[in-house]
């Protein structure tokens, strides 16, 4: 969740009146940022993770595991602890700052981030696991004895009959969501969250409706008509929706934002050296989103049942789907302006890089956008791709408007812009620099499910940061038509997708004429400038343009990237600003349909053909290029080995020798003596499962 504004949030009927105001000023604010920072150059690689936890309250006597709703108290405590640590300088030497803890949608959730972003140093890279463990330890230390922060993606009995929170609250009181299953108190009490929940429901004109296919076990009744739905409840008008078609046969039905936004995930944010590089990394990671979703799959259990899917994605997408019937194409357009094919939480809709690799044909999804906003952006000199991206985000309405925030100084605020930007929850987020800060252009990678252990969370973080460097260093190309990425998103969520599904992936991922061998010895020789005149991790960034931010000045110009000591990489630093490779002559480009194939995740990650080159029978795989990049860093074997330990996890997940958390959870439930092979996860199974998860963590964390 982004920053929490303070103030009085307007109910939908009032807030909607300001939609155009917020959009119009949001664009003005973006244009101010753009004018100031479009030429900002030379930002170093800074990056960071976000890890989300559920605080689970165990009762070993009654064998129950419930969600603790003490978020506010816990965060308050952690804030004090963090301040104390800072004051007493009691932070382990390897971390440059005390970790941060943030609120999240669920009142049982916590989010932690490193106290300051990691730099590109290998030392920082190798400190990620320790940093995550330290955060977990801190959180643990300030909870009650029976409360444990667990990194599980979905809570198996959230919304199941009986008691699943501590303390108990009745769902009849769900005044914001009108849910049949989740009480009001499941939601963070900060006014933003209940308002968001209610306004989504009101804008949509009904409750959200999520239906996950049930996992048919040997004794699951067929057809499956869920006996746990209070079909005949009459508390809210929407109670009738379930029996009037919203709840599907053979599915697990969920009807509230909390089912999705109450899930935990692992996110990563990278700073790019300039806006062009940010757009390139953003695009390159789009096709990676579904692959990593499948590899991190961790959520097979929902509302007390095993589902036939392993991931949270469609649940969250459905849980904030505020589109009206008109927008969903169920009625002719009258009140609304656009038909919209996806929820505001979904996979990315368009590539935005201006780099030569990005062929026009790849953006093959319908992309409704606001033409007036598009024109405004274009008239301001913004290119077609970025203008469409922003004008597409801005087809949505602002969901929460605070009265105190309606009038802003657009030259220094980005609040209206962020109102739309931060409620478009896509697999990747392109983050412009916030005003009044020294932060540069960033990209956030958002598809991954959180892993049970910090070792795994660190491994996936490392893999993605190294892959992002390999993309830049080796000039990699992952483009496939974006409609194929969407198909991959659907496949990624299926049960055991890693082993059972094939995915669309690009055949030639290397730069033209490039081959990869082990050990990687082929240095980047191109001297084509990347447009960056910036610096390595030592100097301050420079800003070309008016009104540069205070900490960014033009002092000590460093040589352009192309003149630096690349490719030696001898300073052991992961960098931004690699010189780009030349495009091939246009004539040589094959039809788009010939550029991709359907292959397994094992092949996508580990390569195929045994030959580590790009010939037709060999394909290096993402691990091949990551290894090539790591080898190019010319680091000691010992460091390489340490990185290798983490990368091994991804390698082995991909080849099926290690199972995903989703498979592990499914197997655990099915092997439990209390399981009746009817897809039901009882309180006892839930308790034993979460206990086991805690034990796994404890063993590995020691």
Q: Which is nearer to ligand ADP, 469 or 491 (CB)?
A: 469
Chain contacts with ligand ADP (rule: CB under 6 A): 1-2, 46-50, 102, 113-114, 117, 267, 269-271, 439, 442, 444
Phi, then psi, of 664 in degrees rounded to 5? -60, -45
Q: Which does 322 bind (CB under 5 to 8 A by kind): ligand ADP, Mg ion, none?
A: none
Q: How far is the CB of 114 from ligand ADP (least distance, A)?
A: 5
Q: Which does 181 bind (CB under 5 to 8 A by kind): Mg ion, ligand ADP, none?
A: none
Asked if 208 and 258 count as a contact pair (C-beta separation under 8 A), the reply is no
Q: Which is nearer to Mg ion, 2 or 559 (CB)?
A: 2
Q: Which residue is nearest to Mg ion, using beta carbons?
A: 267
Q: Which is nearer to ligand ADP, 46 or 273 (CB)?
A: 46
Q: How far is the CB of 374 from Mg ion (least distance, A)?
A: 24
Q: Which does 134 bind (CB under 5 to 8 A by kind): Mg ion, ligand ADP, none?
A: none
Q: Which does 11 bind (CB under 5 to 8 A by kind): ligand ADP, Mg ion, none?
A: none
Helix (H) or strand (E) holding 280: helix 275-285
Q: How far is the CB of 54 from Mg ion (least distance, A)?
A: 12
Q: Which residue is nearest to ligand ADP, using beta carbons?
A: 48
Q: Which is nearer to ligand ADP, 536 or 665 (CB)?
A: 536
How far apart (Å, rounded) are the C-alpha atoms in residues 601 and 292? 9
Q: Which does 442 bind (CB under 5 to 8 A by kind): ligand ADP, Mg ion, none?
A: ligand ADP
How far apart (Å, rounded) are the C-alpha atoms in residues 589 and 358? 12
How far apart (Å, rounded) are the C-alpha atoms in residues 531 and 354? 13
Q: Which does 48 bind (CB under 5 to 8 A by kind): Mg ion, ligand ADP, none?
A: ligand ADP
β-sheet bridge partners, residue 449: 265
Q: Which is nearer to Mg ion, 488 or 632 (CB)?
A: 488
Q: Which is nearer to ligand ADP, 270 or 596 (CB)?
A: 270
Q: Which is nearer to Mg ion, 12 or 53 (CB)?
A: 53
How far apart (Å, rounded) are the C-alpha atoms in residues 304 and 663? 17
Length of the chain: 702
SS3 label, residue 262: coil
Q: Which does 595 bind (CB under 5 to 8 A by kind): ligand ADP, Mg ion, none?
A: none
Q: Which does 523 bind (CB under 5 to 8 A by kind): ligand ADP, Mg ion, none?
A: none
Q: Which is nearer to ligand ADP, 40 or 178 (CB)?
A: 40
Q: Is 419 exposed, middle or buried (0-12, 13-18, 19+ CB in 10 A)?
A: buried
How far apart (Å, rounded) are the C-alpha atoms in residues 474 and 494? 32
Share of the chain residues as helix, strand and coil, in percent rounded to the nearest 5: 40, 15, 50
How far apart (Å, rounded) are the C-alpha atoms in residues 394 and 401? 15
Q: Which does 694 bind (CB under 5 to 8 A by kind): ligand ADP, Mg ion, none?
A: none
In 3D space, the residue among 459, 508, 455, 375 whose CA is nearest the CA of residue 701 turns out to be 455
What is 662-693 written as a DSSP string? Answer: HHHHHHHHHH-TT--SSSB--HHHHHHHHHHH
Q: How far is the CB of 688 from ligand ADP (least distance, A)?
A: 33
Q: How far is the CB of 54 from ligand ADP (least distance, A)?
A: 17
SS3 label, residue 110: strand
How far apart (Å, rounded) are the C-alpha atoms in residues 606 and 404? 53
Query: Vertex 487, ends 457 and 371: CA angle to 5°?
Result: 100
> What DSSP state is assigned to residue 187?
B
Q: Which does 47 bind (CB under 5 to 8 A by kind): Mg ion, ligand ADP, none?
A: ligand ADP
Q: Which is nearer to Mg ion, 3 or 83 (CB)?
A: 3
At what angle are helices 288-295 and 454-474 packed, to 10 degrees? 160
Q: How far is the CB of 268 from Mg ion (least distance, A)?
A: 9
Q: Which does 46 bind (CB under 5 to 8 A by kind): Mg ion, ligand ADP, none?
A: ligand ADP
Longest Cα–Cα distance of the chain, Å, equals 72
Chain contacts with Mg ion (rule: CB under 5 A): 2, 50, 111, 267
Asked if 104 and 193 count as a contact pair (C-beta separation under 8 A), the reply is no
How far apart (Å, rounded) are the C-alpha atoms in residues 351 and 285? 10
Asked if 305 and 679 count as a contact pair (C-beta separation under 8 A), the reply is yes
In 3D space, the residue among 181, 170, 194, 180 whose CA is nearest the CA of residue 240 turns out to be 180
Q: Is 211 exposed, middle or buried (0-12, 13-18, 19+ CB in 10 A)?
A: middle
Q: How far is the CB of 490 from ligand ADP (least distance, A)?
A: 25
Q: How far is the CB of 177 from ligand ADP (least distance, A)?
A: 22
How far apart (Å, rounded) are the C-alpha atoms in residues 340 and 593? 26
Q: Which is nearer to Mg ion, 111 or 321 (CB)?
A: 111
Q: How far is the CB of 283 from Mg ion (least distance, A)?
A: 19
Q: Which does 310 bind (CB under 5 to 8 A by kind): ligand ADP, Mg ion, none?
A: none
SS3 label, residue 581: coil
Q: Which is nearer to Mg ion, 100 or 235 (CB)?
A: 100
Q: Which is nearer to ligand ADP, 281 or 680 (CB)?
A: 281
Q: Which does 117 bind (CB under 5 to 8 A by kind): ligand ADP, Mg ion, none?
A: ligand ADP
Q: How far is the CB of 600 from Mg ion (least distance, A)?
A: 22
Q: Which is nearer to ligand ADP, 179 or 419 (CB)?
A: 419
Q: How far is the CB of 466 from ligand ADP (least distance, A)?
A: 16
Q: Which is nearer to ligand ADP, 112 or 220 (CB)?
A: 112
Q: How far is the CB of 576 from ligand ADP (least distance, A)?
A: 10
Note if the bond before 70 is cis, omega within 30 degrees. no
Q: Which does 439 bind (CB under 5 to 8 A by kind): ligand ADP, Mg ion, none?
A: ligand ADP
Q: Which is nearer to Mg ion, 182 or 428 (CB)?
A: 428
User: What's the chain's Rg over C-alpha atoms?
Assistant: 25
How far apart (Å, rounded) are the C-alpha atoms in residues 342 and 329? 11
DSSP-H helix ranges across 205-340: 257-261, 275-285, 288-295, 313-319
Q: How far is the CB of 431 from ligand ADP (least distance, A)?
A: 8
Q: How far is the CB of 127 from ligand ADP (least distance, A)?
A: 13
Q: How far is the CB of 51 from Mg ion (least distance, A)?
A: 9
Asked if 167 and 147 count as a contact pair (C-beta separation under 8 A), the reply is no
């Amino acid at each position: 969740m982004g920053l929490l504004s303070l103030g009085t949030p307007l109910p939908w009927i009032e807030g909607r009146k300001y939609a155009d105001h917020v959009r119009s000023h949001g664009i003005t604010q973006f244009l101010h940022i753009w004018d100031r920072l479009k030429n900002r150059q030379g930002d170093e690689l800074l990056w960071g993770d976000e890890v989300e936890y559920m605080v689970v309250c165990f009762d070993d006597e009654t064998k129950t595991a419930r969600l603790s709703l003490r978020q506010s108290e816990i965060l308050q405590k952690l804030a004090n602890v963090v301040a104390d640590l800072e004051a007493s300088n009691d932070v382990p030497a390897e971390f440059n700052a005390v970790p941060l803890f943030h609120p999240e949608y669920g009142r049982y959730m916590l989010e932690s981030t490193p106290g300051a972003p990691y730099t590109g140093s290998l030392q920082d890279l190798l400190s990620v696991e320790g940093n995550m463990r330290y955060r977990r330890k801190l959180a643990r230390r300030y909870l009650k004895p029976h409360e444990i922060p667990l990194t599980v993606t979905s809570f198996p009995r959230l919304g199941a009959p009986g008691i699943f929170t501590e303390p108990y609250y009745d769902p009849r009181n769900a005044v914001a969501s009108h849910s049949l299953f989740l009480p009001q108190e499941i939601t963070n009490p900060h006014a933003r969250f209940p308002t968001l929940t209610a306004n989504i429901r009101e804008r949509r004109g009904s409750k959200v409706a999520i239906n996950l296919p049930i996992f048919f076990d040997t004794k699951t009744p067929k057809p499956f008509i869920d006996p746990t739905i209070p079909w005949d409840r009459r508390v809210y008008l929407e109670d009738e929706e379930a029996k009037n078609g919203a709840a599907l046969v053979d599915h697990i039905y969920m009807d509230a934002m909390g089912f999705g936004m109450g899930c935990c995930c692992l996110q990563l944010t990278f700073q790019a050296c300039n806006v062009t590089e940010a757009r390139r990394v953003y695009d390159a990671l789009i096709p990676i989103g579904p692959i990593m979703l499948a590899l991190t799959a961790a959520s097979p259990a929902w509302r007390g049942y095993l589902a036939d899917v392993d991931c949270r994605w469609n649940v969250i997408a459905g849980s904030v789907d505020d589109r009206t019937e008109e927008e969903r194409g169920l009625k002719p357009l009258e009140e609304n302006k656009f038909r919209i094919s996806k929820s505001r939480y979904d996979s990315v809709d368009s590539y935005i890089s201006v780099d030569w690799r990005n062929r026009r044909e790849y953006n093959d999804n319908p992309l409704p956008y606001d033409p007036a906003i598009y024109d405004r952006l274009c008239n301001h000199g913004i290119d077609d791709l970025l203008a469409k991206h922003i004008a597409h985000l801005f087809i949505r309405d602002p969901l929460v408007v605070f009265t105190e925030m309606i009038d802003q100084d657009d030259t220094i605020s980005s609040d209206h812009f962020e109102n739309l930007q931060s409620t478009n929850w896509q697999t990747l987020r392109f983050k412009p620099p916030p005003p009044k800060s020294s932060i540069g252009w960033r990209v956030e990678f958002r598809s991954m499910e959180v892993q049970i252990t910090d070792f795994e969370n660190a491994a996936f973080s490392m893999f993605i940061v190294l892959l992002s460097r390999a993309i830049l260093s080796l000039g990699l190309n992952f483009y496939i038509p974006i409609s194929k990425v969407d198909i991959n998103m659907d496949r990624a969520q299926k049960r055991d997708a890693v082993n059972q599904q094939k995915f669309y992936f690009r055949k030639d991922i290397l730069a033209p004429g490039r081959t990869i061998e082990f050990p990687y010895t082929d240095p980047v020789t191109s001297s084509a400038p990347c447009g960056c005149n910036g610096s390595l991790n030592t100097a301050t960034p420079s800003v070309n343009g008016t009104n540069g931010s205070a900490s960014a000045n033009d002092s000590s110009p460093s040589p352009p990237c192309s003149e630096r000591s690349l490719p030696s990489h001898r300073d052991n630093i992961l960098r931004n600003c690699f010189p780009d490779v030349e495009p091939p002559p246009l004539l040589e480009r094959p039809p788009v349909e010939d550029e991709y194939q359907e292959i397994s995740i094992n092949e996508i990650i580990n390569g195929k053909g045994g030959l580590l080159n790009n010939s037709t029978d060999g394909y290096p795989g993402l691990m091949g290029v990551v290894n090539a990049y790591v080898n190019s860093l010319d680091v000691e074997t010992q460091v390489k080995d340490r990185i290798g330990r983490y990368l091994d996890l991804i390698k082995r997940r991909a080849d099926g020798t290690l199972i995903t958390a989703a498979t592990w959870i499914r197997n655990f439930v099915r092997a439990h003596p209390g399981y009746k092979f009817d897809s039901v996860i009882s309180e006892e199974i839930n308790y034993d499962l979460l206990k086991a998860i805690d034990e796994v963590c404890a063993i590995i964390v020691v």
